[in-house]
Amino acid sequence: MRVTFLRFPDHKCGYSLVERDDGVVFRRTSGIAGPRLPRDLMQLVVERELRITDGIWAGIAADTVFDSARAELLADLVATTAALDAPTPAQIQRLASAKLAGLPRAAIDPAAIDPGMVAAAAQALQVEAARWAHLRVGENLRYVFCPLISGACRSSCCYSRMTRAEGCRS
């Protein structure tokens, strides 16, 4: 699946362009545009980095709907971690306990959170936020997203890094 996030003028309604592998193409409304990383882009980066198989973007790719509460709380955990200067594993564990407290332990045990993976996802989020901040209106970031299915890749693109599409204009 390919997802293109367009940089709209501030205070305008934004959207991403989704091109699924089955040929379906649609616009996904992403709220009011601005200099901050769009929530959908943040969610996509976190799902990729933490290899979440039941999140929002995995559901879109599979043409199904998952209960994405767990994925959204993990995205919030990663975003909060990204805002910290050099977070320690202990800080990440405390954040995980606080952020994930509302979920049943069966959904995700905060003690099972790998602080190293969260820190790496936070760093990836910082990189994408910097890329987004440097976009001019009319430019975009284009990503390939391939969800993991049953712990295995459907194709080799699962491990490809998301990169800015050079010279793309919408």
Residue 55 maps to a domain: yes
CA distance 56 to 54: 7
Residue 107 is predicted with a pLDDT of: 66
Domain that holds residue 69: 2-159
Count of domains forming the chain? 1
Give the tens place of pLDDT for each residue, 83-97: 999 999 999 999 998
Residue 75 maps to a domain: yes
Those residues with Cβ within 8 angstroms of residue 39's Cβ, 6 or more apart along the chain or in another chain? 30, 31
Residue 17 is predicted with a pLDDT of: 95
Residue 167 maps to a domain: no
What is the share, in percent, of the chain residues with pLDDT greater than 90?
Answer: 55
Give the tens place of pLDDT for each residue, 108-130: 777 788 999 999 999 999 999 99
- Please name the amino acid found at residue 92: I
User: Is 156's pLDDT higher than 60?
Assistant: no
Residue 147 maps to a domain: yes
What is the mean pLDDT of the segment spanning 17-45?
91
b/e map of 145-167 (b: 16 or more CB within 10 Å)?
A: bbbbeeeeeeeeebeeebebeee
